[in-house]
Structure 1
């Protein structure tokens, strides 16, 4: 969980830097294509272990957990700071609990629900303070992040309910059987391969950021996250999104983004929510 929080918490600043040389659709397309190449290279031989009824869930999981969010987060960060984007992502545990109970019939304990609520309060404070510090940012773009959190929540519940017996690497590689071609098509339509794109002075730095995102923030992180879902509860697994903002806020501070003592207090509230939600006592 800590490893994932560091990897994913660093992803938001990488997206921000990549936007200096690439468009949101180029970032999403390139990220998905590169990740697909990596995961299919290492996990292709394990695909034969996926049972026929599981393939539809693999496909749905891929689009909800990887394909669409890669574009939505990049679009959101054209208007919202990277740290605030990571904070909004903390809605995932709450959506996971609500969707798990309403759609997938996966129950959570009262302690887990209490922890999620406390963590959400901390997140709300962070969002409120962020809007005060950055009044010129268009917070309508927060809708792209909220939509992504709903997709992530659905993906977590799908893996827990329908893909529990499939190896994490197999799930990740199977996802990209369906993702990599649509991602390549999107990338082709963005004129990524044109001379104009590569004439930009910042293009290679941007591409390097996307490569790091693909290798660590998507390929490695997806395998680790799938494993975390299988060995724990959906709430525990998604609580990583409560730790990610701490890492993202540190990166944002180093990059000149604002941070206040109230945001520090809200971060402590988030950590308290994580502790309560993940305590084994019921």
Structure 2
């Protein structure tokens, strides 16, 4: 039991470092690619990595599991890959990473509303506090960066809802499927749709390949795809199965710290008020992860 407890914390820290770095990689890749090219290319390269590593695992997936594998693929990988890229065309990477901290809160909400999982009083309070912090972060960000369109934060918030649904699906319906099999199955489903998007997004225009920014962006996407998506997805699925959905989604505790450091090093501005908003969000996430004996339904 002790070894399992230590292992899940190691997974959590490694995932935090990997995903915390993903936001700056997306920002750099957007210097040479548009959001649709980035999302599609990220999906395709990740799929190739996963197929090489685990194509034999596809046969282990039962026919009855493919429905949930497909839903998991679109909600946990395909759509967010585009939404995060779209959001970062208008909002700083550090702010996007903080908004991503809403995943554990939405995991609680979705677990209660959709999967009928009871929530504690502290979890309900945590959800409220988390959204207060989000509001502060967004309003201050809009004042601090009037040239940025903070309505694009909606893409991040929508992605956190999809991540929350996905993590509950994995825990409830795919608990007995190997983590690598889930990841490979996800990309079997979303590979062709991503290829179609890449073609229509103008990626294969000949003039692109003579553009240094374009070629550099592809390098960033390769790094992002291997570490931030392929490797991280397998690690995350493993973490969900060895712990709980809420614990696994609390990877977003540490991610903003890593992303903030990268953002500040890259010249992004972040005010004291935004730091306060971030802390309020993390307090809400902390409360949402607390366990108490008193249970209520929301």
Give the TM-score taking structure 1 as reference length.
Answer: 0.92
CA distance in 2, matches of 1:236, 1:98: 14
CA distance in 2, matches of 1:258, 1:36: 35
**Of the candidates 147, 160, 182, which is equivalent to residue 171 of structure 1?**
182
Comparing 51-60 and 2-11, the one that deviates more: 2-11
**Of the candidates 193, 198, 202, which is equivalent to residue 204 of structure 2?**
193
Measure how far apart 1:281 and its partner are. Answer: 5.1
**Of the candidates 232, 256, 261, which is equivalent to residue 221 of structure 1?**
232
Measure how far apart 1:249 and its partner are. Answer: 1.6
What residue in structure 1 maps to residue 135 of structure 2?
A: 124
CA distance in 1, matches of 2:152, 2:257: 21
**Of the candidates 241, 244, 254, which is equivalent to residue 252 of structure 2?**
241
What residue in structure 1 maps to residue 9 of structure 2?
A: none
CA distance in 1, matches of 2:277, 2:13: 19
Q: 1:190-209, CA deviations, whole angstroms, 9 ceiling, x for partnerless residues?
A: 23223211121212221111
Comparing 120-129 and 93-102, the one that deviates more: 120-129
Q: Does residue 35 of structure 1 match 2:10?
A: no
Aligned residues: 282
CA distance in 2, matches of 1:30, 1:40: 15
CA distance in 1, matches of 2:143, 2:275: 15
Comparing 11-20 and 240-249, the one that deviates more: 240-249
Task: Please tell me whether the aligned partners of residues 61 and 158 of structure 1 are also in contact (alpha carbons under 8 angstroms).
Answer: yes
Q: 1:7-48, CA deviations, whole angstroms, 9 ceiling, x for partnerless residues?
A: 112111111111110111110111000000111111111222
SS in 1 for 2:254: helix
CA distance in 1, matches of 2:27, 2:110: 30
**Of the candidates 235, 238, 250, which is equivalent to residue 261 of structure 2?**
250
Task: Please tell me whether the aligned partners of residues 98 and 278 of structure 2 are also in contact (alpha carbons under 8 angstroms).
Answer: no
CA distance in 2, matches of 1:219, 1:124: 32
Q: Does residue 133 of structure 1 match 2:141?
A: no
CA distance in 1, matches of 2:153, 2:144: 16
Q: Does residue 278 of structure 1 match 2:293?
A: no
**Of the candidates 151, 155, 173, which is equivalent to residue 162 of structure 1?**
173
Unmatched 5+ stretches in structure 1: none
Unmatched 5+ stretches in structure 2: 1-11, 294-298
Comparing 60-69 and 246-255, the one that deviates more: 246-255
Measure how far apart 1:166 and its partner are. Answer: 1.0
What does 1:98-113 align with in structure 2 at a 5 Å threshold? 98-113=109-124
SS in 2 for 1:259: coil
